[in-house]
Amino acid sequence: MTFSFDSNTRSAIQADTSYLKATPDGFDLGGRIYPVLTVKPTASTIVTKLFGPGWVHSSDQCDEGPKCPECNDKKARKYLRLSVEMDGRPLQIDLPPIASARLAELVGDGIDGLLRMTCTRAEKNGNAWGDVTFEIVGKEAA
């Protein structure tokens, strides 16, 4: 028997959390664009996503369990779902593998401070996306 939240519980938990999206123009937070954000990381988890034409299968929305064929598909990519706080407000962002690896290298065994995230435009083969880089900045006030 595996434990999982039903979708009502999940949406209740997520209701207070806003989602940040890395776009070619910067971070999109509820329709406003920010090129740089300074945040306090609070938690992280891995979410597997499989993209198809017009759909995305995400392991956090999947009720099929660990043997789900989509979640285990070779083309599925692992995203780092980073939970952060910005001015006390909980936010989440899903980081693609390149940005996740950058963050993992920066953080090492842990960081004591705030994280400055910068989103810049990247382009390849006519596709544009938001590329996220990180810096550790001053410690938070006690």
Contacting residues toward Zn ion, per CB under 5 A: 62, 64, 68, 70-71
Phi, psi at residue 17, to the nearest 5°? -100, 130
* Shortest reach from residue 56's CB to Zn ion, in Å: 11
Nearest alpha carbon to residue 120 among 129, 110, 111, 112 = 129
Nearest alpha carbon to residue 72 among 94, 52, 50, 51 = 50
Residue (68 or 86) nearer to Zn ion, CB: 68
CA distances to 21, 54, 91, 100 from 30, in Å: 9, 22, 11, 23
* Shortest reach from residue 57's CB to Zn ion, in Å: 6
Residue (5 or 106) nearer to Zn ion, CB: 5
Residue (70 or 94) nearer to Zn ion, CB: 70
* Shortest reach from residue 50's CB to Zn ion, in Å: 8
